[in-house]
Amino acid sequence: MELEVIKDRLAHIPSSDYPAVGKSFVHLLDTLATGAPRGSFYNKQAEIVKAIWDVHETTFNIDRGLYGIMLAFPGVMDYSKQIGMDLLLDNPFNGVSFLTVGQEKKLLQHLIDSMPITRQLKTFGRFADARINNSRTRKLILRSILNDKELVWHAVKYRGKLRKALVHAWGQRMSSILQSILNKWGERESLTSKEMNIIYSTIDRHLVDGMIVQTTNELLETIRFILGSDVVENPILKAYIDANEDPEKLSALPPEVAEGKRSVFHKDISPADVLKKTAKKATVGQKISMQKAAKKAGVEMEFDPSKYDAVRLYVYAYEMGMTDEIKDVLKVKAQEAAEKLPIAWDNVSIIVDNSKSMEGHGTQKMRPIAVAMAMRDMLMASAKEGSKVFGGHHELPIPVGDTSIASAVINAALMEPDAIFIITDGYENAPAGRTAEVIDRMRKMGNDTPIMQLTPVFSAEAYGTRELSEYVPVMPVKGPESLGIGMVKTMLEVDFERGIQALANVTNRSVPLLEAPGEV
Amino acid sequence: MATKLNEVLRGCRAGRVQSVGLMQVIPLLAESDNRFSKPSALVVKTSNYGTLVFENKETSMQIVPRDSGYLTKSGSQDHGMPTTRILESERNLTYDGAACIEESQGGYIEGDANIIILPFPLREASLVTRDVNSYNKLWKYIGAFNKAMGLPSGGGHINIFLREYEKQLARFVAEFEPVPGQVGAIVIIGGRIVGVERTPSHEYWLDIWEPMIRECYGSLVLYFERNMKDTLPRLRKPLAEDIISLNDLATDLRDVEELELVETSNVVNALMEEEFTTEVDEERAGFTIETLMSTQFVGQTIREELNVVYASITATKDQVHRDPITTELFQMTP
């Protein structure tokens, strides 16, 4: 996107406000990459949620369009997208925005499409709970659900959540009318013209071209099932109903649905038996997360490591152990990620903080150190000539003990690298502030080796990431793919307009929002 | 009877000092004695105002920490326990000398309490009044403490302080980390030793660590921060300003770390010879609970013959009081 176009679209923000606005967006980028509504090693969940919302609302109120394109940036967490969608849909478009109304609509569809089905349904549930019920929201929900190519499979897994979303979109009254119409058994041709019009206005007009002819009957039956009817002919939907009585039907269902049915209707069958019957139907995500349960049950559940990102593989390896196959895949992924970096180096030094706080907490356990390992691998692969690692050179270093980074910085600098990366949560106690002192002395003696801090956690009390030194830009990361956010952040701090240009250009690769000025 | 601190810490060795702001923590490492469950496993109730009932439902013994506080979110009056106690497996203990720490809140605790360690400035008063059977005995001290922290005195409501300073207290948990094998710590604030804590095992320590560093010692740091003008703690040394090469920087860093270690060791070693008078509080299940006093410290230990399994020793107002600006905070202690 041309810089002149950027300037034109930013005309409503005084240039004197750029430093403050840049800072707000930097905070937002920190939050988008690391903020998750789970407690960290240090902060309780409620603190983190409030801190995240504060940052989102501040930047939304500056410019909803700029705020929106940041949500489409690669590496943004789904939780951040959910908050963004709440804000964009709950607040009417008022014309003062970096994006046009059509571009914002496209953005919203992209955001929902980029999430897995579970998160999509959770998002729709949030709309219902928050009573966000305008036309844009209804269309978004219906377009997403009705065009789902795997709706039958999702219907048996998430029947209740789908029902909630559809009833919210159609309203209780229209949902009841539609259910009555769909309960009339038979082909579409048996319906009256008034009923056909209702089908058209509630379902057909939200379908992408090409779906109307081929899948209408299956779609109608699935919607009828979702809304509560047990009269079905589709084999999967029928297996769902029949499995209450007939345990043989469990094998046709997804593993977790089958297990749910077993625990209620067939307690005499063991969970291990159900897992054996349904293992082949597990999703890609389930195949890695159910390894422990499968091993315990004596069930072989193979998974293909190449289908998972590096961080997930490291979390798995910390739980189940490293294998040669995983090591090989990690090497390939590191190389692929390194090739996508906007900057390449000849030599890098990498300092890994493997203190106890990098262990993470609760549902995020081992995730910070897993992110550190994935980043380490990528940075090593990015160095054309060589690299040196301090603190995290083992295959799976165990986070333990206190945090001493200062001496590692000096040792790293003595290698005369092109850049030093410090992968840390930012908490230092051996002693606190020593790294800042060391870097200060380095700068004063004329050593200007670039030093960058990569931080894999979100700290609520810092409203962003926690910095080791004022000389060291901090880049929040959730994995190798989110390093780009850090690069953009650095530019937003030094040159706001070029930072926005970089942001828009990167975002446009994944969702072409900005093809032409004035596009509606 | 008398004892010295080096006897209380026999079997412990020091880990690397952790230092953030005004606080330094020297981890104490030792073999774990796994005969005791972690404190959060205790079921804690009140049967009357000023009476705590501890239920040990575990198959191992329990140690009730000295100056532990029990806070609930439900409508019950929070309480503090001024003394340590031992509890055999699957037994109960009733203590009538407990203190209410939430003055105008009624209601009994029903087993849903979270454990804290009382804010440091209350601990001396709590211990020395442990045998006073009066549930309101700490209210005036809590009120004075709240006022000293710039809050409305609010009577005997510890929650006024805890709520107001919740975020600041949370940072201490972030900044200090338990290390493998750690069973206790020596805590130094503003260059003076303010606490020596020892627990029977690493598991016990991990369980009590957060309330210890947060509500207890963190509260003292917050008071110091309101008043101290120094930017570095007394035992923290700066690097030289005129360094011209990386090798010189590496050397200077090593020298500074060595100097800090020596000065910290000097402070700690001076303490090891501190002599305490001891008074037996209770003998139970083969263990002896003693209260220790010196001019600078008060505390308690639990011994099994010569082996100390638990110790909690904190500085008196005189020890902390060496700097005039802290007078106000400690005027309320007896």
Which residues in chain A show pLDDT less than 70? 1, 35-44, 185-188, 209-215, 341-344, 361-363, 393, 400-403, 457-465, 485, 487, 490-491, 494-495, 509-510, 513-520
Asked if B262 has any chain A CB less than 8 Å from its own CB, the reply is no
- Nearest Cα neighbor of A15 from A507, A505, A495, A490 is A495
Work out the mean pLDDT of chain A and round it to a whole number: 84
CB B90 within 8 A of CB B57: yes
Q: In Å, how far is A279's CA from the nearest CA of chain B?
A: 39
Gap between the Cα atoms of A287 and A300, Å rounded: 10
pLDDT at B328: 41
- Residue that is written with structure tokens 């087993």 in the block: B111
Which residue of B lies nearest to A355 if distances are taken between CA atoms? Answer: B177
A355 vs B: CB within 8 A: yes
User: Using alpha carbons only, what angle is made at residue A100 by residues A99 and A102, rounded to the nearest 5 degrees?
Assistant: 120
Which of A410, A420, A440, A443 is the best residue to mutate to test the B interface, defined by the most B CB atoms within 10 Å of its own CB? A410
Helix, strand, or coil here: B257?
helix
CB contact under 8 A, B180 and A406: no
Select the more confidently predicted residue: A282 or B107. Answer: B107
Helix axes of B246-272 and A406-414: crossing angle, nearest 10 degrees: 160
% of chain B beyond a pLDDT of 70: 93
- Of all helices (H) and strands (E), which one includes residue B47? strand B43-48
State the burial class of residue A400 (Cβ atoms within 10 Å of its Cβ: 0-12, 13-18, 19+). middle
What is the average pLDDT value for chain B, to the nearest integer?
88
Overall size of chain A counted in residues: 520
The 3-state DSSP class for residue A195 equals: helix
- Segment 163-202 of chain B within 8 Å of chain A by CB: 167, 170-171, 173-180
Q: What is the pLDDT of residue A310?
A: 92
Q: Which residue, among A41, A414, A441, A465, would best test binding to B if mutated, counting the most B CBs under 10 Å from its CB?
A: A441
Tell me the sheet residues that pair with B297: B315
For residue A390, the SS3 value is strand
Residues A48 and A458 sit within 8 Å (Cβ to Cβ) = yes
Contacts of A240 (CB under 8 A, 6+ apart): A156, A249, A253, A257
State pTM to two decimals: 0.68
Q: What's the average model confidence in pLDDT over B241-266?
A: 91
The per-residue DSSP string of B153-180 comes to --SSBHHHHHHHTHHHHHHHHHH----T
Q: How far is CA A481 from the centre of its chain?
A: 11
Asked whether the beta carbons of A89 and A50 are under 8 A apart, the reply is: no
Closest-CA distance, A441 to chain B, in angstroms, reads 7
Taking only the tens place, the pLDDT of each residue in B60-83 is 999 999 999 999 877 788 999 999
Residue A465 has what pLDDT? Answer: 66
CA angle B191, B67, A360 (to 5 degrees): 70
Give the tokens for residue A238: 């029928």
pLDDT per residue over B178-205, tens digit each? 998 999 999 998 888 899 999 999 999 9
What is the distance of C-alpha B176 from the center of its chain?
Answer: 15
Residues in chain B: 334
Residue-wise pLDDT tens digits, A390-410: 887 677 877 766 667 999 999
Residues B137, B129 contacting (CB under 8 angstroms)? yes
pLDDT of amino acid B78: 92
pLDDT of res. A494: 62
DSSP labels for A366-385? THHHHHHHHHHHHHHHHEEE
Asked if B116 contacts B215 with a C-beta cutoff of 8 angstroms, the reply is yes
- Backbone φ and ψ for B280, nearest 5 degrees, come out as -75, 125
**Separation in Å, CA of B229 to nearest CA in chain A:** 18
Across the range B248-263, mean pLDDT stands at 91
Token digits of residue A448? 């200007």
Residue A325: the pLDDT is 92
Distance, CA of B124 to CA of B126 (rounded, Å):
5
A411 touches chain B (CB under 8 A): yes
Q: Which of B179, B180, B249 is opposite residue A442, by nearest beta carbon?
A: B249
Q: Cβ contact (<8 Å) for B250 and A410?
A: yes
Question: Do residues A381 and A337 touch, judged by C-beta distance below 8 A?
Answer: yes
C-alpha–C-alpha distance, residues A393 and A48, integer Å: 32
pLDDT score for A512: 73
Helices then strands, each counted (H, E), chain B: 10, 19
Across the interface, whether the CB atoms of A407 and B171 are under 8 A apart is answered: no
Distance of CA A406 to the CA centre of its chain: 33
Residue numbers in B near A405 (CB within 8 A): none
Q: Do A43 and B21 touch (CB under 8 A)?
A: no
Chain B (227-256) residues lying within 8 Å, Cβ to Cβ, of chain A: 236, 238-241, 243-247, 249-250, 253
Q: Which residues contact A20 (CB under 8 A, 6 or more apart)?
A: none
Distance (Å, rounded) from C-alpha A83 to C-alpha A86? 5
- Give the pLDDT confidence of A303-312 residue by residue, as tens digits: 788 888 899 9
Q: What residue has token string 């307009």?
A: A497
The Cα–Cα gap between B77 and B73 comes to 10
DSSP states along B173-204: HHH----TTEEEEEEEETTEEEEEEE-S-HHH
Name which of B246, B256, B260 to mutate to probe chain A: the one with the most chain A Cβ atoms within 10 A of its Cβ: B246
| Best mutation target, A402, A404, A451, to test chain B (most B CBs within 10 A) | A402
Provide the H-helix boundaries in A114-210.
Answer: 117-129, 135-146, 151-157, 159-170, 172-183, 193-202
Q: Residue with structure tokens 């003008």?
A: B229
- Chain A 427-486, CB below 8 Å of chain B: which residues? 427-432, 434, 437-438, 441-442, 444-445, 447, 459, 461
Helix axis angle for A78-90 and A45-62, nearest 10°, is 50
CA distance A111 to chain B (A): 34
CA angle A326, A327, A330 (to 5 degrees): 85
Residue B206 has pLDDT above 80, yes or no: yes
Search chain B and give the residue with CA nearest A412. Answer: B246
Residue with tokens 């239920």: B55
- Phi, psi torsion values for A360, nearest 5 degrees: 85, -170
Residue of A nearest to B180 (CA): A401
Tell how strand B85-87 and strand B62-64 pair up.
antiparallel
User: Nearest CA of chain A to the CA of B16: how many Å?
Assistant: 8
SS3 for B241? Answer: coil
- Chain A closest-CA separation from residue B330 CA (Å): 29
pLDDT of the residue at A165: 96
As a dihedral over the C-alpha atoms of residue B280, residue B285, residue B287, residue B292, rounded to 10 degrees, the angle is: -30
A482-496 pLDDT, tens digit per residue, is 777 676 776 677 668
Minimal Cβ distance to A401: which of B173, B177, B245: B177
Residue B83, number of CB atoms within 10 A of its CB? 22
Residue of B nearest to A462 (CA): B171
Pairwise CA distance, residues A37 & B248, whole Å: 46
pLDDT confidence of residue A458: 52
A400 CB neighbours in chain B (<8 A) are 179-180
